[in-house]
Amino acid sequence: MTVFPSRREITLRGLILGALITVVFTASNVYLGLRIGLTFASSIPAAVISMAVLRLLGRGTILENNMVQSQASAAGTLSCVFATFPGLIMAGYWHSFPFWQTAGLSLAGGVLGVLFTIPLRHALVTRSALPYPEGVAAAEILRAGAEAQSGQGLRALLAGGLVSAVLSFAAGALRLLADGITLTASAGTAIFQFSASFSLALVGAGYLVGLAGGLAMLTGCVLAWGIGVPWLSSHTPNPANLPATVFAHDLWLHKIRFIGAGSIAVASLWTLVELLPPVLSGIRQSLRPADGDTTTHERDLSPRAMAGLLVLSALGLWWFFKDFLNPVTTGATTLVLAAVLFCVVFGFLMAAACGYMAGIVGSSSSPISGIIIVGAVLSALMILALETLGLVPPALMANGQKLATAFTILLLSAITATIAISNDNLQDLKTGQLVGASPWKQEAVLIVGCVVGSLVIPPVLNLLYQAYGFAGAMPRPGMDAARALSAPQPALITLITQGIFSGTLDWTMLGAGLTLGCGLIATDRLLRRHDLSLPPLGVAVGLYLPASTSITLAGGAVLGWALRAWANRTTHKDTETQARQTYGTMLASGFIVGESLTGVAIAGLSGALGRDDALSMASALPVALPELLGGLAFCAACAWFARGLVGQRDQALSP
């Protein structure tokens, strides 16, 4: 039942608490994104922490808690700029992350994202049946907190976080445990590979995503590694005589991933076409002046405030784009104007597509990286078109198009902030709708979250780069490249951008992805006639992400489905089912938070000691033992997770 309490929402202590939580979850998301290419929705754990703290302070309300989690969630989501900014280092243009440029572009893009969620709220939240899994879960947690049940949820979050942190520290710092397993086999010249990650964060993410999204990703993984890589390896020369494992990964990285990107592009555009009528209606409604009959629970920021923020954001983008180019070239006014317009127009269109995806599969699983690839192709083609017309300075294309590549990545960073915020904030606005929050106050707090998050991101990026380095871009000689953060999205974005400007991009794979995307859309629509589904975006993401990520995440989804199915057969009361679901959500969120924060702590320790293997004990162990121990510890943790849910059910049933 929807509640509409008339109590305080925005408070000073809430803003301070939200800012403190912001620092933690922003750092967590940046680390997790650079390590495995995924982030997590921080609204659920933020809501639990907020409830516990505000209860200690006294007089906390459900609406005040909602504002705290909205602020922290927005800031944590802004960290998705990890997918682009490191590309400037990989391209050899930056050697660190300048504070004001990194923070300023993140903030300008993030504020645009908040503005875009306002008309999208009407189209995708108020008048939509989209499930918004994380938004609904957060609302249930807030309600549970209002009914004095948050203590148990916080204990579950801390327990999951502690288990995940211990395993992550043993693997990442002590290196007593392997962080995954890879098996490679050959049949003739065809190479088959199976990879799985021993990451509890991925298990938690899979539990939250659900079965449909997990199986779709697994399908994409099977297409990539069960069909694509074996076929390519049997038809592609290997003149460098690379080992089978390395050759298979190389084919996936430079061939299969582009198929996934093309499929993501088609599925995203199809989603956009379906969304166009409700989005246009939402724009008209959001720009209509509020009248006296508009309730507090339907009122957005005023059209005047929206226009002012839009102008300030556009001017901010103009300033930072111009500032980026000024030291190298002049006469780039037309280019900067085109870049700002591209950010606004393309950003809104892709924000709508990402918001829709988040409504189906959740913010954590929405393939923002695929949208960024689409943006990389379109923005690079736009710059090439301007160059053909003689509207860009010659320095842009000089020196192997180095400046053109860097400026494209910079432009994509602002767009990434925009679409990431829209992707996540609609979940928060769904939560607000369910608990009776005032939309305009929530939108204002989301902007505050963007401000705080933008200030945290640059130092965290610098810390992680100096501690670990990125694949192919190490800050100092002598560092262990095997421990570098893979930064998969920045590496791919840089590769695509450089390929377009140099004319070496393999369009064949992108074309194959476009064709596959059309086939996936047709398949999904046929399945829906029989009450089944195969989300095309989920399949495309399975092609795009590493097999170790897709397989472990799918395993978490299957585990969650099995536990839910078992509980539904043995549980007869709605309150018992809700208690188990809330407990499982908290444990899964704890897995994600614990591993992420441990990664950040290890990065800080490595930076302080000047070595990324200072605590390593791997040399004292037999070569195969860490892999065995890692597998056993991972399986034990998953068994503990399942047993914890069973115990929660038994506790709910006990008198």
* Model pLDDT, residue 149: 47
419 contact partners, CB below 8 Å, separation of at least 6? 113, 347, 350, 351, 354, 368, 371, 372
Q: What is the pLDDT of residues 213-229, one digit of tens each?
A: 788 889 999 999 999 99
Q: Measure the CA–CA gap between 348 and 369, rounded to whole angstroms.
A: 16
Q: How confident is the model at residue 518 (pLDDT cuts 50, 70, 90)?
A: very high
Confidence check: pLDDT of 361 > 60: no
pTM of the model: 0.72
Helix (H) / strand (E) element for 92: namely none
Q: Measure the CA–CA gap between 119 and 548, rounded to whole angstroms.
A: 38
CB 123 within 8 A of CB 279: yes
Confidence check: pLDDT of 287 > 70: no
Mean pLDDT, residues 13-19: 82
Report how far apart, in Å, the C-alpha atoms of 630 and of each of 135, 137, 168, 261, 290 are. 34, 31, 10, 32, 58
Confidence check: pLDDT of 345 > 50: yes
Residue 404, exposed/middle/buried by CB under 10 A (0-12, 13-18, 19+)? buried
Domain ranges of the chain: 12-157+304-476
Q: Measure the CA–CA gap between 215 and 538, rounded to whole angstroms.
A: 8
Q: How confident is the model at residue 653 (pLDDT cuts 50, 70, 90)?
A: very low
Beta-ladder partners of 654: none
255-264, 310-319, 353-362, 540-549: range with highest mean pLDDT: 310-319
Residue 96 DSSP SS3:
coil
617 contact partners, CB below 8 Å, separation of at least 6? 174, 175, 176
* Model pLDDT, residue 167: 92
**Residue 224: closest CA among 201, 255, 245:** 255
Place of tokens 């599969």: 361
* Model pLDDT, residue 576: 56
Residue 298, exposed/middle/buried by CB under 10 A (0-12, 13-18, 19+)? middle
Confidence check: pLDDT of 493 > 70: yes
Measure CA of the first residue to CA of the last residue in the chain; give whole Å.
26
Q: How confident is the model at residue 650 (pLDDT cuts 50, 70, 90)?
A: very low
233-242, 296-305, 502-511, 518-527: range with highest mean pLDDT: 518-527
Positive or negative torsion for Cα 304, 309, 310, 314: positive
**Residue 61: closest CA among 3, 19, 20:** 3
Confidence check: pLDDT of 389 > 70: yes
Angle 574-609/43-57 helices, nearest 10 degrees?
100
Q: How far is CA 17 from the centre of its chain?
A: 23
Q: How far is CA 254 from the centre of its chain?
A: 22
**Residue 369: closest CA among 320, 420, 432:** 420
CB 393 within 8 A of CB 332: yes
532 contact partners, CB below 8 Å, separation of at least 6? none
CB 544 within 8 A of CB 178: no
Q: How confident is the model at residue 274 (pLDDT cuts 50, 70, 90)?
A: low
Token pair belonging to 505 = 């991009």
Q: Measure the CA–CA gap between 240 and 29, rounded to whole angstroms.
A: 37
Measured from the Cβ of residue 344, the count of other Cβ atoms closer than 10 Å reads 19
DSSP per-residue letters across 345-385: HHHHHHHHHHHHHHHHH-TTTS-HHHHHHHHHHHHHHHHHH
Q: Which amino acid, 610?
A: G
Q: Measure the CA–CA gap between 441 and 305, rounded to whole angstroms.
A: 13
Token pair belonging to 270 = 């199809």
Give me the phi and psi of 59, to 5 degrees please: 65, 30
Beta-ladder partners of 470: 473, 485
Beta-ladder partners of 184: 193
* Model pLDDT, residue 637: 92
Residue 436 DSSP SS3:
coil
User: Mind spelling out the 3-state secondary structure of 23-50?
Assistant: HHHHHHHHHHHHHHCCCCCCHHHHHHHH
DSSP, res 485:
B
Q: How confident is the model at residue 250 (pLDDT cuts 50, 70, 90)?
A: confident
Give me the phi and psi of 196, to 5 degrees please: -140, 140
Confidence check: pLDDT of 80 > 50: yes
* Model pLDDT, residue 539: 85
Helix (H) / strand (E) element for 533: namely none
CB 45 within 8 A of CB 587: no
* Model pLDDT, residue 90: 86
Q: Which residue has the higher pLDDT, 523 or 280?
A: 523
DSSP per-residue letters across 118-153: HHHHIIIIIT-----HHHHHHHHHHHHHHTT-HHHH
Q: Measure the CA–CA gap between 353 and 273, rounded to whole angstroms.
A: 9
